[in-house]
Amino acid sequence: MTRHSLQQPAIILIRPQMGENIGAAARAMWNFGLDHMRIVDPRDGWPSQKAVAMASGAGRLLDEARLFDTTAEALADTTFVMATTARPRDLTKPVYSPEFAMAEAARRIGTGQKVAVMFGPERAGLENDDIIRANAIISVPVNPDFPSLNLAQCVLLLSYEWQRQLGEVGQPAAQVTKSEWASGLEVEKLAEHFEQRLDTAGFFFPETKAASMKVHLRNLWSRMPLTKADVQMLHGTMRQMARWKERG
């Protein structure tokens, strides 16, 4: 990651289907000063000559792009994630406009947080299993009769709003916080710990509803702004409750 990338959101393409769209997204990013791209499980493999051809002068972004197998791995070091989606979801999360989303990104980066924006595959967009890992949703006000945006168009729109925020509020300055924000990996491990303890306690009943209950539980974690100290305390709470049960 470049030094410049530390002061901007990561653009994460989840399971993109066409190399051309990845290249066009890279070009859109670089138009507005973004250079931190992550790619999760691209359908046609990586690297992609079609992506390079479409990126034109933004080929460096593709050379430096980080490749991941899963969404969870791509988000492991992030502390605040926003997911772009046009479809209504049965998940309770704050919904931001593109303008507000990038203003929030600038504010959080200014406090030392690592912000990411997820974009789904071209055919159907992000799946619920991706979105439950996000802290907020970005909804673009589009024509309801034709709501589908091309991947690169959506990246271009958010990149433009990011650059506009910088023009209005200036480059965010780092601020000191009393406790560092928990990373995506730390929140993921905490969610797994709770699921394991609750499963042992027989919480996920009846079995037919277990999957849905786990989705809503994961969604709860993503809505909570957790610090590293919060995560450590919650791990300790669950361990102590298990010890208390064993003594009883």
Let me know if residue 69 belongs to a domain: yes
pLDDT at 120: 94
Q: Are residues 85 and 153 in the same domain?
A: yes
Q: Are residues 106 and 165 in the same domain?
A: yes
Percentage of residues in the chain with pLDDT exceeding 90? 54
Let me know if residue 177 belongs to a domain: no
pLDDT at 87: 63
Q: Are residues 162 and 107 in the same domain?
A: yes
Q: Are residues 59 and 15 in the same domain?
A: yes
* Residues whose CB falls within 8 Å of the CB of residue 154, separated by 6 or more in sequence, listed in order: 84, 119, 140
CA distance 7 to 109: 6
Amino acid at site 192? E
Q: What CATH number is associated with residue 117?
A: 3.40.1280.10
CA distance 55 to 137: 27
**Which residues of the chain register pLDDT less than 70?**
1-6, 87-89, 168-179, 245, 247-248
pLDDT at 245: 65
pLDDT at 154: 95
Q: Which of 135, 169, 203 is the last residue of a domain?
A: 169
Q: Which of 144, 169, 194 is the last residue of a domain?
A: 169
Q: Which of 120, 146, 169 is the last residue of a domain?
A: 169
Terminal-residue alpha carbon distance, the chain: 51
Number of domains making up the chain: 2
CA distance 228 to 68: 24
Q: Are residues 55 and 87 in the same domain?
A: yes
Q: Are residues 128 and 13 in the same domain?
A: yes
Q: Are residues 85 and 197 in the same domain?
A: no
pLDDT at 134: 95
Q: Tell me which DSSP letter residue 2 carries.
A: -
Q: Are residues 76 and 191 in the same domain?
A: no
* Residues whose CB falls within 8 Å of the CB of residue 247, separated by 6 or more in sequence, listed in order: none
The domain of 133 spans 4-169
Let me know if residue 54 belongs to a domain: yes
Q: Are residues 159 and 209 in the same domain?
A: no
- Taking only the tens place, the pLDDT of each residue in 18-72 is 999 999 999 999 999 999 999 999 999 999 999 999 998 899 999 999 999 999 9
Global pTM reads: 0.79
pLDDT at 124: 81
pLDDT at 214: 87
pLDDT at 12: 98
